[in-house]
Copies of this chain bind each other. A is one copy, B any other.
């Protein structure tokens, strides 16, 4: 099996209401078994999903069901969220459309892929599949790569469980995400700058199917990374990522921060929702004082947890039944 990746060149700039199927069918001679991979941004444009707003951060929260991680940047806040369209993405996949508008993702990417597939098949008379691709970072890896935001007519997973390899060993955990691999492959011939938002993957007709396909989004209890390292600790202290509380406590910055700043943020997170305890914060240490020793113990433990969440280690000394001193080790 040889696969060819073909860029679809010569497409005009897409605007709301444009007939993508007709434009693509005119730009390339499609064949039976082709997989048409289209950048979701172009689909959003054609669907008229531009939003007139200057408040990108509010739009990100509006277009998401949960915040996974968030950092303060020089120009605002960057959030990785579970987008309401499905996937976990930075900024809910919102993109600049033109100087006036922000583009949101299709609310149902699979339905958008279905629609385009139906129209393309009607326009060309060939049997094909459609993938809506988008671009995302991947934890632990540098750079961005493409993935399948939605698809239609494609076998998304190759489930080899229960089969055996050439040595008769069980391929117990081998479920391939074909859709994401196809989106990544297509990106190699698409272009951010050269206006090539569509590519065709030719030669893998065996992957076409009309069977219902599973979701490629993993969320819920089986998602081991539902919160970032920092956010998991804050959430355990009652500071929910994406909430006004989280902003009040203060978001970590994307870059390096002085120890004193991280220490102060840890104290604010620890104090969240607690009865007032007197805390005197210095550069690398703090002193806690409380009439109620139970409250003292509570806030002491919470500060230690919050400091660990800031990747700061500390030592503590109880100075009496109502006083504790905590020092950050450097």
Chain A residues at the B interface, C-beta cutoff of 8 Å: 1-7, 13, 69, 71, 80, 87-88, 96, 98, 135, 138-147, 156-158, 160, 163-167, 169, 171, 173-178, 180-182, 184-185, 187-189, 192-195, 201, 203-204, 214-219, 221, 223-230, 232-233, 235-238, 256, 292-302, 304-306, 308-309, 311, 318, 321, 324
Contact = CB atoms under 8 A, between A and B. Distances in A.
A304 B96 CA distance: 42
Contacts of A158: 143
Contacts of A165: 192-193
Given A6-B2, A294-B300, A224 B305 contact: no
A178 B300 CA distance: 48
- Top 7 A-B residue pairs of the complex, sorted by shortest distance between their CB atoms: A297-B297, A143-B177, A185-B185, A232-B232, A236-B308, A184-B184, A88-B140
A135 B181 CA distance: 11
21 contacts: A1-B7, A5-B185, A98-B167, A135-B174, A140-B219, A140-B223, A141-B218, A142-B156, A142-B157, A143-B175, A145-B176, A145-B177, A145-B184, A146-B181, A171-B192, A236-B306, A237-B305, A293-B294, A294-B294, A294-B296, A302-B305
Contacts of A3: 4-5, 185, 188-189
Contact of A87 (B140, B160, B301): B140
Instruction: State the main secondary structure of chain A at its contact with B.
Output: mixed
Contacts of A187: 176, 181
Nearest to A148: B141
Most buried by B among A7, A185, A300, A318: A185
A140 B232 contact: no
Contacts of A88: 139-140
Given A176-B145, A188-B185, A305 B139 contact: no
Most buried by B among A177, A232, A235: A232
A306 B308 CA distance: 14
Nearest to A293: B293
B6 A4 contact: no
Contacts of A145: 176-177, 180-181, 184
Given A71-B224, A297-B301, 13 more contacts: A1-B7, A3-B4, A5-B185, A80-B224, A138-B177, A142-B157, A143-B156, A174-B192, A182-B188, A233-B236, A237-B305, A294-B321, A301-B302
A242 B92 CA distance: 33
